[in-house]
Protein backbone atom coordinates (compact mmCIF):
# COMPACT_ATOMS: atom_id res chain seq x y z
CA UNK A 1 0.00 0.00 0.00
CA UNK A 2 1.47 3.34 -1.00
CA UNK A 3 2.34 5.80 1.73
CA UNK A 4 0.08 8.86 1.89
CA UNK A 5 1.49 11.84 0.05
CA UNK A 6 2.44 14.95 1.97
CA UNK A 7 -0.19 17.66 2.16
CA UNK A 8 0.45 20.41 -0.39
CA UNK A 9 1.65 23.69 1.04
CA UNK A 10 -1.07 26.35 1.15
CA UNK A 11 -0.58 29.50 -0.93
CA UNK A 12 1.81 32.13 0.37
CA UNK A 13 -0.01 34.93 2.19
CA UNK A 14 1.29 38.32 1.10
CA UNK A 15 0.51 40.93 3.74
CA UNK A 16 0.48 44.66 3.01
CA UNK A 17 3.47 46.75 3.97
CA UNK A 18 3.00 48.51 7.32
CA UNK A 19 4.65 51.19 9.41
CA UNK A 20 4.15 50.41 13.11
CA UNK A 21 5.93 50.35 16.46
CA UNK A 22 8.60 47.76 17.08
CA UNK A 23 6.43 45.83 19.56
CA UNK A 24 3.64 45.54 17.00
CA UNK A 25 5.98 44.41 14.25
CA UNK A 26 7.66 41.76 16.39
CA UNK A 27 4.39 40.49 17.86
CA UNK A 28 2.95 40.25 14.36
CA UNK A 29 5.82 38.09 13.09
CA UNK A 30 5.69 35.86 16.18
CA UNK A 31 1.94 35.43 15.74
CA UNK A 32 2.34 34.57 12.05
CA UNK A 33 4.93 31.94 13.01
CA UNK A 34 2.45 30.41 15.45
CA UNK A 35 -0.03 29.97 12.59
CA UNK A 36 2.57 27.84 10.75
CA UNK A 37 1.27 28.97 7.36
CA UNK A 38 3.49 30.50 4.67
CA UNK A 39 3.49 34.30 4.79
CA UNK A 40 5.64 37.19 3.68
CA UNK A 41 5.64 40.91 4.39
CA UNK A 42 7.80 44.01 4.12
CA UNK A 43 7.52 46.67 6.79
CA UNK A 44 9.01 49.78 8.35
CA UNK A 45 9.11 51.29 11.83
CA UNK A 46 7.22 54.29 13.21
CA UNK A 47 10.36 55.56 14.94
CA UNK A 48 14.07 54.76 14.77
CA UNK A 49 14.24 51.45 16.62
CA UNK A 50 17.06 49.22 17.82
CA UNK A 51 15.97 45.59 17.81
CA UNK A 52 17.92 43.13 19.94
CA UNK A 53 18.28 39.44 19.18
CA UNK A 54 16.33 37.09 21.43
CA UNK A 55 19.48 35.75 23.10
CA UNK A 56 21.33 39.08 23.18
CA UNK A 57 21.67 39.51 26.92
CA UNK A 58 23.67 42.73 27.19
CA UNK A 59 21.92 46.06 26.62
CA UNK A 60 24.61 48.72 26.21
CA UNK A 61 24.26 51.50 28.77
CA UNK A 62 24.18 54.23 26.12
CA UNK A 63 21.34 52.40 24.31
CA UNK A 64 19.24 52.74 27.44
CA UNK A 65 20.19 56.40 27.66
CA UNK A 66 19.22 57.01 24.03
CA UNK A 67 15.90 55.23 24.56
CA UNK A 68 15.16 57.16 27.76
CA UNK A 69 15.91 60.41 25.90
CA UNK A 70 13.46 59.45 23.14
CA UNK A 71 16.15 59.18 20.45
CA UNK A 72 15.40 55.51 19.69
CA UNK A 73 13.00 52.81 20.75
CA UNK A 74 14.26 49.46 22.00
CA UNK A 75 12.56 46.17 21.20
CA UNK A 76 13.50 42.51 21.43
CA UNK A 77 13.09 40.30 18.38
CA UNK A 78 11.77 36.75 18.64
CA UNK A 79 14.59 35.78 16.24
CA UNK A 80 18.27 35.54 17.09
CA UNK A 81 21.27 37.58 16.01
CA UNK A 82 22.65 40.88 17.20
CA UNK A 83 21.36 44.45 17.38
CA UNK A 84 19.86 46.00 14.23
CA UNK A 85 19.14 49.71 13.84
CA UNK A 86 15.89 50.13 11.94
CA UNK A 87 16.26 53.52 10.26
CA UNK A 88 16.84 54.01 6.54
CA UNK A 89 16.12 50.36 5.86
CA UNK A 90 13.33 47.91 4.93
CA UNK A 91 12.56 44.89 7.10
CA UNK A 92 11.05 41.65 5.87
CA UNK A 93 9.43 38.77 7.71
CA UNK A 94 9.12 35.33 6.10
CA UNK A 95 7.30 32.35 7.62
CA UNK A 96 8.24 29.06 5.93
CA UNK A 97 6.67 25.78 7.17
CA UNK A 98 8.73 22.73 6.35
CA UNK A 99 11.92 24.64 5.59
CA UNK A 100 15.05 22.48 5.15
CA UNK A 101 16.64 21.97 8.55
CA UNK A 102 20.18 22.91 7.52
CA UNK A 103 20.51 26.57 8.47
CA UNK A 104 22.94 27.44 5.69
CA UNK A 105 20.74 25.79 3.05
CA UNK A 106 17.61 27.44 4.46
CA UNK A 107 19.30 30.84 4.38
CA UNK A 108 20.44 30.27 0.81
CA UNK A 109 16.99 29.31 -0.46
CA UNK A 110 15.21 31.99 1.57
CA UNK A 111 17.54 34.73 0.27
CA UNK A 112 17.51 33.92 -3.44
CA UNK A 113 14.76 36.49 -4.07
CA UNK A 114 17.08 39.15 -2.66
CA UNK A 115 19.99 38.07 -4.86
CA UNK A 116 17.72 38.24 -7.91
CA UNK A 117 16.27 41.63 -6.94
CA UNK A 118 19.64 43.27 -6.36
CA UNK A 119 21.02 41.80 -9.57
CA UNK A 120 18.13 43.54 -11.37
CA UNK A 121 19.10 46.77 -9.60
CA UNK A 122 22.65 46.44 -10.90
CA UNK A 123 24.03 45.90 -7.39
CA UNK A 124 24.78 42.17 -7.18
CA UNK A 125 25.23 40.65 -3.74
CA UNK A 126 26.81 37.50 -2.37
CA UNK A 127 26.82 35.66 0.96
CA UNK A 128 29.26 37.04 3.50
CA UNK A 129 32.16 35.10 4.97
CA UNK A 130 33.48 37.16 7.89
CA UNK A 131 33.19 35.12 11.09
CA UNK A 132 33.92 37.72 13.76
CA UNK A 133 33.29 41.39 14.42
CA UNK A 134 35.03 44.29 16.12
CA UNK A 135 31.57 45.33 17.41
CA UNK A 136 30.09 42.07 18.71
CA UNK A 137 26.74 43.69 19.54
CA UNK A 138 26.18 45.19 16.06
CA UNK A 139 24.62 42.93 13.42
CA UNK A 140 26.04 44.95 10.53
CA UNK A 141 29.62 44.95 11.83
CA UNK A 142 30.23 41.57 10.15
CA UNK A 143 28.83 39.57 7.27
CA UNK A 144 28.48 35.81 7.75
CA UNK A 145 27.13 33.20 5.35
CA UNK A 146 23.65 34.15 6.62
CA UNK A 147 24.05 37.71 5.31
CA UNK A 148 24.40 39.37 1.91
CA UNK A 149 27.27 41.73 1.09
CA UNK A 150 28.25 43.75 -1.97
CA UNK A 151 31.35 43.26 -4.13
CA UNK A 152 33.49 45.20 -1.63
CA UNK A 153 32.27 43.14 1.33
CA UNK A 154 30.02 45.89 2.75
CA UNK A 155 26.96 44.32 4.33
CA UNK A 156 23.68 45.25 2.66
CA UNK A 157 21.31 42.70 4.26
CA UNK A 158 21.42 41.05 7.68
CA UNK A 159 19.26 38.03 8.50
CA UNK A 160 18.18 36.11 11.61
CA UNK A 161 16.06 33.03 12.22
CA UNK A 162 13.69 31.43 14.68
CA UNK A 163 12.54 27.82 14.32
CA UNK A 164 9.40 26.35 15.88
CA UNK A 165 8.42 22.71 15.23
CA UNK A 166 9.96 22.68 11.77
CA UNK A 167 8.57 26.09 10.82
CA UNK A 168 10.99 28.94 10.11
CA UNK A 169 10.61 32.64 10.81
CA UNK A 170 13.32 34.57 8.96
CA UNK A 171 13.86 38.26 9.62
CA UNK A 172 15.94 40.43 7.35
CA UNK A 173 17.02 44.08 7.37
CA UNK A 174 17.74 45.64 3.96
CA UNK A 175 19.87 48.78 4.23
CA UNK A 176 18.76 51.49 1.81
CA UNK A 177 19.95 54.83 3.21
CA UNK A 178 21.28 54.24 6.73
CA UNK A 179 21.32 57.33 8.92
CA UNK A 180 24.99 58.23 9.50
CA UNK A 181 24.51 60.44 12.57
CA UNK A 182 22.14 58.09 14.35
CA UNK A 183 24.28 55.08 13.50
CA UNK A 184 27.26 56.86 15.08
CA UNK A 185 25.23 57.58 18.22
CA UNK A 186 24.09 53.99 18.58
CA UNK A 187 27.18 52.02 17.53
CA UNK A 188 29.98 54.60 17.86
CA UNK A 189 30.88 53.83 14.25
CA UNK A 190 29.61 54.77 10.78
CA UNK A 191 27.21 52.50 8.86
CA UNK A 192 28.45 50.26 6.04
CA UNK A 193 29.49 52.32 3.03
CA UNK A 194 27.01 51.25 0.38
CA UNK A 195 26.35 52.51 -3.14
CA UNK A 196 23.10 54.41 -3.63
CA UNK A 197 20.36 52.29 -5.16
CA UNK A 198 18.69 53.44 -8.41
CA UNK A 199 15.23 52.90 -6.88
CA UNK A 200 13.71 53.92 -3.58
CA UNK A 201 10.37 54.18 -1.84
CA UNK A 202 7.41 52.35 -3.32
CA UNK A 203 9.29 51.50 -6.55
CA UNK A 204 11.93 49.60 -4.59
CA UNK A 205 9.33 47.85 -2.46
CA UNK A 206 7.41 46.81 -5.57
CA UNK A 207 10.52 45.31 -7.13
CA UNK A 208 11.32 43.44 -3.92
CA UNK A 209 7.81 42.02 -3.66
CA UNK A 210 7.78 40.95 -7.32
CA UNK A 211 11.07 39.14 -6.77
CA UNK A 212 9.80 37.50 -3.58
CA UNK A 213 6.65 36.23 -5.28
CA UNK A 214 8.76 34.81 -8.09
CA UNK A 215 11.65 33.24 -6.19
CA UNK A 216 10.54 32.39 -2.65
CA UNK A 217 10.17 28.60 -2.22
CA UNK A 218 6.92 29.25 -0.34
CA UNK A 219 5.42 30.93 -3.42
CA UNK A 220 5.53 27.67 -5.39
CA UNK A 221 1.92 26.89 -4.52
CA UNK A 222 0.75 30.37 -5.54
CA UNK A 223 0.02 33.36 -3.37
CA UNK A 224 -2.91 35.35 -2.04
CA UNK A 225 -3.27 38.90 -0.77
CA UNK A 226 -4.34 38.91 2.85
CA UNK A 227 -4.43 41.86 5.22
CA UNK A 228 -4.80 41.14 8.94
CA UNK A 229 -8.39 40.96 10.08
CA UNK A 230 -9.76 42.70 13.15
CA UNK A 231 -9.67 39.43 15.10
CA UNK A 232 -6.07 38.80 14.06
CA UNK A 233 -5.03 42.31 15.07
CA UNK A 234 -6.71 41.83 18.44
CA UNK A 235 -4.82 38.56 18.98
CA UNK A 236 -1.52 40.28 18.12
CA UNK A 237 -2.30 43.31 20.27
CA UNK A 238 -2.78 41.07 23.30
CA UNK A 239 0.84 39.89 23.18
CA UNK A 240 2.97 43.00 22.79
CA UNK A 241 4.55 42.88 26.25
CA UNK A 242 7.37 40.35 25.75
CA UNK A 243 9.03 42.47 23.09
CA UNK A 244 9.62 45.49 25.32
CA UNK A 245 9.76 43.75 28.71
CA UNK A 246 12.79 44.85 30.72
CA UNK A 247 13.75 47.52 28.19
CA UNK A 248 13.58 51.28 28.88
CA UNK A 249 10.65 53.11 27.32
CA UNK A 250 11.49 56.49 25.78
CA UNK A 251 9.57 59.73 26.03
CA UNK A 252 8.70 60.18 22.37
CA UNK A 253 6.38 57.39 21.33
CA UNK A 254 8.37 54.34 22.32
CA UNK A 255 5.36 52.63 23.86
CA UNK A 256 3.29 50.49 21.50
CA UNK A 257 0.10 51.87 19.99
CA UNK A 258 -3.01 51.72 22.11
CA UNK A 259 -4.90 50.12 19.24
CA UNK A 260 -4.26 48.74 15.74
CA UNK A 261 -6.04 51.79 14.34
CA UNK A 262 -3.17 53.95 15.59
CA UNK A 263 -0.85 52.32 13.07
CA UNK A 264 -0.31 53.29 9.45
CA UNK A 265 -0.91 50.59 6.83
CA UNK A 266 0.42 51.06 3.32
CA UNK A 267 -0.30 48.49 0.65
CA UNK A 268 2.16 47.95 -2.18
CA UNK A 269 0.17 45.25 -3.92
CA UNK A 270 -1.02 47.50 -6.72
CA UNK A 271 2.36 47.50 -8.43
CA UNK A 272 3.82 44.36 -6.94
CA UNK A 273 2.13 41.65 -8.97
CA UNK A 274 4.63 39.60 -10.98
CA UNK A 275 4.18 39.70 -14.72
CA UNK A 276 3.81 36.57 -16.81
Quote the CA–CA distance of 246 and 172 in Å, as a whole number: 24
Q: How confident is the model at residue 198 (pLDDT cuts 50, 70, 90)?
A: very high
- The pTM (predicted TM-score) of the whole model is 0.84
pLDDT (0 to 100) of residue 184: 92
pLDDT (0 to 100) of residue 146: 72
Find the mean pLDDT for residues 253-265. 41
Quote the CA–CA distance of 145 and 210 in Å, as a whole number: 24
pLDDT (0 to 100) of residue 34: 94
Find the mean pLDDT for residues 208-229. 93
Specify the 3-state DSSP secondary structure of 120: helix
Report, as residue numbers or ranges, the catalytic residues: 139
Go through the domains of the chain in sequence order and give each one's CATH number.
Answer: 12-271 (3.30.930.10)
Say if residue 147's pLDDT is above 90: no
Please report, rounded to a whole number, the percentage of residues in the chain having pLDDT higher than 90.
53
Say if residue 271's pLDDT is above 90: no
Residue 269's nearest CA partner among 2, 13, 54 is 13
Q: How confident is the model at residue 269 (pLDDT cuts 50, 70, 90)?
A: very low
Amino acid sequence: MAAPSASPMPPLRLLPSTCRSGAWQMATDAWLLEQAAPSFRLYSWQRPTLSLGFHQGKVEAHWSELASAGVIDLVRRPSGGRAVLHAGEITYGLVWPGAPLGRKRAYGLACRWLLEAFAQLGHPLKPGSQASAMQPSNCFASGTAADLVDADGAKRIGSAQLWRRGCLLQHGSILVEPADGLWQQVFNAPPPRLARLPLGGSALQSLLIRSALTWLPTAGSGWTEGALSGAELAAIGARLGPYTEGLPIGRAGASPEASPEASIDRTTWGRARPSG
